[in-house]
Amino acid sequence: MLQNTGKLAGKTLFITGASRGIGKAIALKAARDGANVVIAAKTAQVHPKLPGTIYTAAEEIEALGGKALPCIVDVRDEKQIGDAVQLAVQKFGGIDILVNNASAINLNGTLETPMKTVDLMLAVNLRGTYLTSKLCIPHLLKSKGAHILNLSPPLNLNPIWFKNHTGKNHVFLKFRQSNDVSSPPAIHTAAMDMLGGMDVGKRCRNVDIMSDAAYAIFSKPPSYTGNFVIDEDILRKEGIKDFDVYAIAPGNPLMPDFFLDEAEGLLQNLGEQKGLPDSGKGSTTSSISGPIAETFNIIKGILNPDVVKSTGGVYRFDLSGEHAGVWYIDLKNDAGSAGCGEPPVKPDVVMAMDSADFTKMFAGELKPTMAFMSGKLKIKGDMTLAIKMEKMMSMMKSKL
């Protein structure tokens, strides 16, 4: 891991979304140098699903030797940002570094994403980043070591990342004295738990790799600007060779983050996009034998109340290809059930794909996230439940 050098002693960092996750990790890294940190985030009271508040983060910062200023800030609110900036200047004498970390994400497709959600993502990811930067820049210009750091997925215009995700592509801006940092493998945060379930963390890196990469950037002169960097790349240039220290579960294969050329290779291996099969309501399987039936026999054998409790969803599978038909898995009611035909209750998720890919997916040879990103898997309904299917698939892998 990258060691602290004291470079940030006395510097003031304004970090949005710093009550938890990557934002808080960057704050704690700076605190070890004796930095001043403005925690600009929304959570002032304990959240039922997410850890930490601006006040608990402030306590952790000060325990490490830093100074903290917790501010209730919604980056959509110009007055709240402006007030926090003025408080920071009054308390610490200025602002040296801005970290635009606050973000909003939704993984559903275009038709399943309401405009309210689209407006939220644009207001936070685009307008909030622009507005916070605009209000901080007058003070950053007075600093001898100013930086703006935007946390974001990589800016990759390769069409493979756009053709299936027009409803949730990100827009990022560049600012004077600004750098963007991204990560190749996925980073484990509370948001990842909410999107993919607790087990997803085993294939992620922890937030420390992002805080170390941010620290490396902050240690550079202001002339280091206008860069898009990957955390692992910049840390290698700093002499870091052992990246297992950043793994949640060292030795486990890492899940690649999206929008990177390395992940593109995985997508290309999965094949070209297929259309949604037309297997309307009432469709039946063309055969109750074969690999699909065998897969469902295994599924029935591993169903239990614990799996049902941890998943909480009813799935319908519209399969095309050689073994076309409709199948279901109920992981929401009683001890669970699975079989051929329509589910006994309205499904929460409809997953459409080729029957051959279905077999691969449940054999652990094809991850649902990768299948979805490549267009092999079409999903209607709750995307988080679709991701949770990976837990069952990991249980089945040992049975096949």
Statement to judge: residues 300 and 262 lie in one domain? no
CATH number at residue 362: 3.30.1050.10
Q: Which residues of 101-123 are buried (b: 16+ CB within 10 A; e: fewer)?
A: bbbbebbbbeeebeeebeeebeb
Residue with tokens 């038709």: 111
Owning domain of residue 96: 12-268
Statement to judge: residues 46 and 122 lie in one domain? yes
Contacts of 31 (CB under 8 A, 6+ apart): 37, 60, 61, 62, 64, 65, 66, 68
Quick one: pLDDT at residue 362? 82
Statement to judge: residues 254 and 393 lie in one domain? no
> Contact, 350 vs 316, CB < 8 A?
yes
Statement to judge: residues 57 and 136 lie in one domain? yes
In a domain, 276, yes or no: no
Domain count for the chain, please give it. Answer: 2
Judged by DSSP in three states, 87 sits in helix
In a domain, 355, yes or no: yes
In a domain, 6, yes or no: no
Residues making up the chain, counted from first to last:
400
Region of 249 (left: φ > 0; alpha: ψ -120 to 50; beta: rest) is beta
In a domain, 273, yes or no: no
Statement to judge: residues 81 and 117 lie in one domain? yes
Statement to judge: residues 191 and 50 lie in one domain? yes
Along the 400 residues of the chain, how does pLDDT read in single tens digits?
999 999 999 999 999 999 999 999 999 999 999 999 999 999 999 988 788 999 999 999 999 999 999 999 999 999 999 999 999 999 999 999 999 999 987 766 677 788 999 999 999 999 999 999 999 999 999 999 999 999 987 766 666 555 555 544 443 344 445 677 766 556 656 555 544 445 556 667 889 999 999 999 999 999 999 888 888 889 999 999 998 899 887 877 676 666 665 554 444 443 333 333 333 333 333 345 588 888 888 888 888 888 888 888 899 999 999 888 999 999 998 888 998 888 989 999 899 999 999 988 888 788 777 777 677 888 888 767 776 776 667 666 555 5
Statement to judge: residues 226 and 359 lie in one domain? no
CA 229 – CA 341 distance, rounded (Å): 49
> Contact, 16 vs 100, CB < 8 A?
yes
Statement to judge: residues 45 and 113 lie in one domain? yes
In a domain, 329, yes or no: yes
pTM exceeds cut of 0.75: no
Please report, for residues 150, 160, 258, the alpha-carbon distance to residue 165 in angstroms, rounded to integers and kept in the order given.
Answer: 22, 9, 11
> Contact, 320 vs 353, CB < 8 A?
yes
For the chain, give percent helix, strand, coil, nearest 5.
Answer: 40, 15, 45
In a domain, 60, yes or no: yes
Region of 364 (left: φ > 0; alpha: ψ -120 to 50; beta: rest) is left
Quick one: pLDDT at residue 256? 63
Statement to judge: residues 217 and 327 lie in one domain? no
> CA torsion, points 9, 218, 241, 207, in degrees to nearest 10?
90
Quick one: pLDDT at residue 364? 77
CA 343 – CA 331 distance, rounded (Å): 11
Quick one: pLDDT at residue 10? 97
